Chain A
Amino acid sequence: MSAAVETQNEAEPHSPRMGLRNRVIMVFVMGALLLSLLLAGVAFTLTRSNLLNVRESTGIGLAGRNAVLVGQQLNVEQANAEEILLDLSTPIGSIALLKVNGEWLLKDAPSFADTDIDAKLLAALDQGTPHQMRYKVGAIPYLVVGFPLPDADAVYIEAVPLDDIEETLNSLGIALFGGAAITVLAAAALGVWAASRVLSPLDEIGMAAAAIADGDLNTRLIDEGDRDLHRLTTSFNFMATSLQERIERDARFASEVSHELRSPLMTLSASVEVLSNQRANMPERAQTALELLETDLDRFEQLVEDLLEISRFDVGIVALQPSRFEVVEFVRQAIRLTGTETPITYDDDVDGTIIEADKRRLARVIANLVDNAAKYAGGASVLHIAVHDDEIEFAIIDDGPGVPESERLAIFDRFSRGLEGGRRGAGTGVGLGLALVAEHINLHRGSVYVTDRVDGQSGSRFVVTIPGAIK
């Protein structure tokens, strides 16, 4: 389980799915885009067909009237087709073409020549039926309307340019596109706002969960009366309360156990001291028994202390009591406490360095590492202090057989005894020492590991690194 939690903690999830926030924004944008495109499309199409229809019917009407007029005038004797054509009133821009006696006459024809008349239109006119077509000449679209004038053996054609409609439609298109773009942008903004509104409870939950994980067990979500959020708020708070109760129950239990274990130890400890005050009056056999009793009482006390300490870590009721102290003097005192004469060496820049840490825990770390060296390696040969930026490093080096690579992680587990496992003697611990070292150092946000000695000789090098060096 913890492994799964850890992978989730590893920063951003790497699934291809978008985040919830982006998805909400995306839905808004896509919706707005679709809707505005649809509306723009419908508006454009309707306007276009409407404009074209109007222009077509007027164009056809006018051209029809002109065709009738031209037909009547051609039937008059000695009619001059050219003049008739010039006299015609055609809408501005429209081009009138008249074919009389197989020859095309053009009025106002700068851009539309008889050669531009589509063959299909001509073919239809040859059949004697009026016809109209829409097509482009060059870049300009035209409505071309043709009427046969069979009485005069002529054909009348009018080409009405539609480029103004095109222009209108173009500006309409730009306006619609602009409108759509603005709508989409507005939708995106709305999406961002809505997403943050919708997700703000999630942010709050996230922050509350983080606060709880950080140890502030009194954190609760405030029920703001939102019916949709009510269930979530209630279950979150219920979860937090259960968690808090459970931790408090565990802590109470640990505290009770602590009392129950320590009380008889108190009696034992005081009684053994009374006995040992009478040592001189005891027969030799009783003295030997007393010594055994004393040694194992010490061992038992240490075991109980270690077990209680590790259960406090499990229950999560440990807290650092940091203070500032000079590191070399501290190590000297910590070594004095171990009752060994482990030599201390340090880099030049360590002299005078102040560190902020929990003095008692750090002293336990050093004591446990020195004890460990005493048990498995015949004692620590040196404790070396170094400082790297704000990190302080303690290296406990021994001349023992070293720790095989395969066991270098496992020896920090509880009740692991390394290679010497199973062998018990007066000095043998209970296998919690290194596990506690790891816990204490974790609490300091530091690290501990074991490697080979740097000088290549047989032995191991336990390295503890913690932040907090001040100078």
Chain B
Amino acid sequence: MGTRILTVEDDERIRTAVKLALEDEGWQVNEASNGEDALLSFRREPADVVLIDIMLPGIDGFEVCRSLRKESDVPIVMVTARDDTHDVVAGLEAGADDYLTKPFAPKELSARIRALLRRSRATEQGVTHMSFGDLEIIPEEGRVMLGEEELHLTKTEFRLLVELASSPGRVFSREVLLERVWGYDYFGDGRLVDVHVRRLRTKIESDAANPRHVVTVRGLGYKLQP
């Protein structure tokens, strides 16, 4: 069983061309032409990665993303053909893990998908347990506990948290986090980090406005308070 990708795109020609290119890369591809079909298809046959175009007829890409997030931690890549910075941030806040701007090279998309499916380095290094006050991370089981409660993090949020936790107190620049968590080179978009940190805080902090665990170091980046 190969890795299955669900592409949600209303333009049939784009859908077909992308499907052909992705299949050439060795992925299995499911297709949906609108949001409703995408949700039905995902429930029938869950995918490993979902690719969602923002502009969809009926329920839009953001909404599809939010609905998927309620039931799954599957990696989601948003696709936008517009430049509005608003689209990018809104997509990430709706729960997307990464984004691409049309027209992208399918090879670039494949690289993104591979990065999203990677396991965290801590997991690979066999770190089994980390705890910071009421926050407990169990990398090998992919679980995070806040007190007695188990938190539902997406794969990317989890990798981001584990990366920060791998060196408590050390400041990670956006560039380093982009490279280690998303596999981006030097010119990755720092907003990916910022929005993910924001999302992470709403889950692991009791007061997201005054974070106790993931702290911003102005002009430098982020660190996990030991």
- Whether A267 contacts B14 by the Cβ 8 Å rule is yes
Contact A262/B24 with A321-B190, A333-B186 known, Cβ cut-off 8 Å:
no
Q: Which residues of A contact B20 (CB under 8 A)?
A: 270-271, 274
- Alpha-carbon separation in the docked complex, A273 to B133 (Å): 51
Q: Which residues of B contact A301 (CB under 8 A)?
A: 103
- Alpha-carbon separation in the docked complex, A141 to B182 (Å): 107
Q: Which residues of A contact B101 (CB under 8 A)?
A: 262
- Alpha-carbon separation in the docked complex, A269 to B17 (Å): 9
Checking B18, B102, B187 against A333 with a beta-carbon cut-off of 8 angstroms, the contacting residue is B187
Q: Which residues of A contact B14 (CB under 8 A)?
A: 263, 266-267, 270
B171: interface (CB < 8 Å): no
Checking B83, B106, B174, B219 against A258 with a beta-carbon cut-off of 8 angstroms, the contacting residue is B83
- Whether B187 contacts A255 by the Cβ 8 Å rule is no
- Whether B83 contacts A263 by the Cβ 8 Å rule is no
- Alpha-carbon separation in the docked complex, A325 to B220 (Å): 9
- Min C-beta distance of A398 to chain B, whole Å: 24
- Alpha-carbon separation in the docked complex, A330 to B173 (Å): 14
- Whether A269 contacts B187 by the Cβ 8 Å rule is no
Mask, A292-325, CB within 8 Å of B = 1, is 0000000001000000100010000101010111
A265: interface (CB < 8 Å): yes
Checking B13, B24, B107, B190 against A267 with a beta-carbon cut-off of 8 angstroms, the contacting residue is B13
B167-220 residues at the A interface, CB under 8 angstroms:
174-175, 185-187, 189-191, 219-220
Checking A265, A277, A317, A325 against B24 with a beta-carbon cut-off of 8 angstroms, the contacting residue is A277
Contact A258/B85 with A269-B104, A273-B21, A323-B190 known, Cβ cut-off 8 Å:
no
B90: interface (CB < 8 Å): no
Contact A273/B191 with A255-B82, A266-B17, A333-B186 known, Cβ cut-off 8 Å:
no
- Whether A274 contacts B83 by the Cβ 8 Å rule is no
- Min C-beta distance of A96 to chain B, whole Å: 102
- Whether A255 contacts B17 by the Cβ 8 Å rule is no
A414: interface (CB < 8 Å): no
Q: Which residues of B contact A312 (CB under 8 A)?
A: 83
Q: Which residues of A contact B55 (CB under 8 A)?
A: 259
Q: Which residues of B contact A417 (CB under 8 A)?
A: none
- Alpha-carbon separation in the docked complex, A269 to B13 (Å): 12
Q: Which residues of B contact A317 (CB under 8 A)?
A: 84
Q: Which residues of A contact B219 (CB under 8 A)?
A: 324
- Alpha-carbon separation in the docked complex, A277 to B25 (Å): 9
- Whether A270 contacts B17 by the Cβ 8 Å rule is yes
Q: Which residues of A contact B85 (CB under 8 A)?
A: 319, 321
- Whether A269 contacts B103 by the Cβ 8 Å rule is yes
Q: Which residues of B contact A254 (CB under 8 A)?
A: 83
A69: interface (CB < 8 Å): no
Mask, A190-222, CB within 8 Å of B = 1, is 000000000000000000000000000000000
- Min C-beta distance of A247 to chain B, whole Å: 14
- Whether A267 contacts B174 by the Cβ 8 Å rule is no
Q: Which residues of A contact B24 (CB under 8 A)?
A: 273-274, 277
A359: interface (CB < 8 Å): yes
Q: Which residues of A contact B36 (CB under 8 A)?
A: none
Q: Which residues of B contact A319 (CB under 8 A)?
A: 85
- Min C-beta distance of A316 to chain B, whole Å: 13
- Alpha-carbon separation in the docked complex, A280 to B13 (Å): 25
- Whether A360 contacts B83 by the Cβ 8 Å rule is no
Checking A270, A277, A324, A359 against B187 with a beta-carbon cut-off of 8 angstroms, the contacting residue is A359
Q: Which residues of B contact A323 (CB under 8 A)?
A: 174, 190
Checking A263, A324, A329 against B81 with a beta-carbon cut-off of 8 angstroms, the contacting residue is A263
- Alpha-carbon separation in the docked complex, A264 to B105 (Å): 13
Residue of A nearest to B55 (CB): A259
Contact A270/B21 with A259-B55, A262-B103 known, Cβ cut-off 8 Å:
yes
- Whether B187 contacts A265 by the Cβ 8 Å rule is no
Mask, A312-353, CB within 8 Å of B = 1, is 100001010101110001100100010000000000000000
B11: interface (CB < 8 Å): yes
- Whether A270 contacts B106 by the Cβ 8 Å rule is yes
Mask, A44-68, CB within 8 Å of B = 1, is 0000000000000000000000000
- Alpha-carbon separation in the docked complex, A321 to B84 (Å): 13
- Alpha-carbon separation in the docked complex, A34 to B190 (Å): 70
Q: Which residues of A contact B106 (CB under 8 A)?
A: 269-270, 273
- Alpha-carbon separation in the docked complex, A374 to B166 (Å): 45
Q: Which residues of A contact B189 (CB under 8 A)?
A: 360
Checking A262, A277, A330 against B102 with a beta-carbon cut-off of 8 angstroms, the contacting residue is A262
- Whether A271 contacts B17 by the Cβ 8 Å rule is yes
- Min C-beta distance of B72 to chain A, whole Å: 26
A35: interface (CB < 8 Å): no
- Whether A263 contacts B82 by the Cβ 8 Å rule is no
Q: Which residues of B contact A263 (CB under 8 A)?
A: 11, 14, 81, 102
A176: interface (CB < 8 Å): no
A403-419 residues at the B interface, CB under 8 angstroms:
none
- Alpha-carbon separation in the docked complex, A139 to B82 (Å): 96
Residue of B nearest to A363 (CB): B187
- Whether A337 contacts B81 by the Cβ 8 Å rule is no
- Alpha-carbon separation in the docked complex, A401 to B21 (Å): 44
Residue of B nearest to A330 (CB): B186
- B interface residues (Cβ-Cβ under 8 A, vs A): 11, 13-14, 17-18, 20-21, 24, 55, 81-85, 101-107, 174-175, 185-187, 189-191, 219-220
A-B contact pairs, 17 of them (CB 8 A): A255-B82, A258-B82, A264-B13, A265-B102, A266-B14, A266-B18, A266-B104, A267-B11, A269-B106, A270-B17, A270-B20, A271-B17, A273-B21, A308-B83, A321-B190, A324-B219, A333-B186
Known: A262-B81, A266-B11, A323-B174. 13 other contacts (CB 8 A): A254-B83, A258-B81, A259-B81, A263-B11, A263-B14, A263-B102, A266-B14, A266-B102, A270-B18, A270-B106, A273-B21, A274-B21, A325-B175
